Structures are given as structure tokens and as C-alpha cells.
Amino acid sequence: MAGPRLPHAALSLKQFLQRQRVLGIYRTMLRTIRQVPHEMDRKYLRDWARGEFKRNKSATDQDAIRMMITQANNHLEELQKSLALARS
């Protein structure tokens, strides 16, 4: 009797951790967007974020994924700084 087998599409530990990181950035970005005061701006930013993450969903090149993670973090930081400035 054969032992349990992983599905062909199983992620390596590195890929799994990277995926969790991307999902965390996505969730944080959507939570931050909820703080935007104007509904039209919120909708625009939400659609933009969803589109970007969806467009890059099938990326497999590790260097490209790391670059996209860095860009997403930069966009998130910019958005958070803009919101902080708007509040003060």
C-alpha cells in the first residue's frame, strides 16, 4: 500500500510562505483602503488593487514575485502615509 502523496500542484514551503505574505499584503491593503474617506476613491483603489493582484496571480518567476511584493509594500506605505497626512 502506498503512503499519502502530495497533489501535483502542492506548493513548496518557500512558495507557501510567499503566498501567505502576498495574501497578507492584499488583506492589509483592502483594510487600509476602507479608511479612505471618499466612496469614489475607495472604489477606484479597491478595483485597482483587486485588478493588480488578479493580473499577477499566475506569476511563477520568483524574482518577479519578489519585485511585485516590494512594489505592493511601497504602494501600501504610500497609501498609509497619505491617509495619515489627511487626518492631521
Tens digit of pLDDT for each residue in 58-75? 998 989 999 999 999 999
What are the CA-CA distances from residue 32 to residues 21, 64, 66, 71, 83 (Å)?
16, 25, 22, 16, 9
User: For the chain, what are the domain ranges?
Assistant: 17-87
The pTM assigned to this predicted structure is 0.82
Report pLDDT digits (tens) over 24-65: 999 999 999 999 999 999 999 999 999 999 999 999 898 999
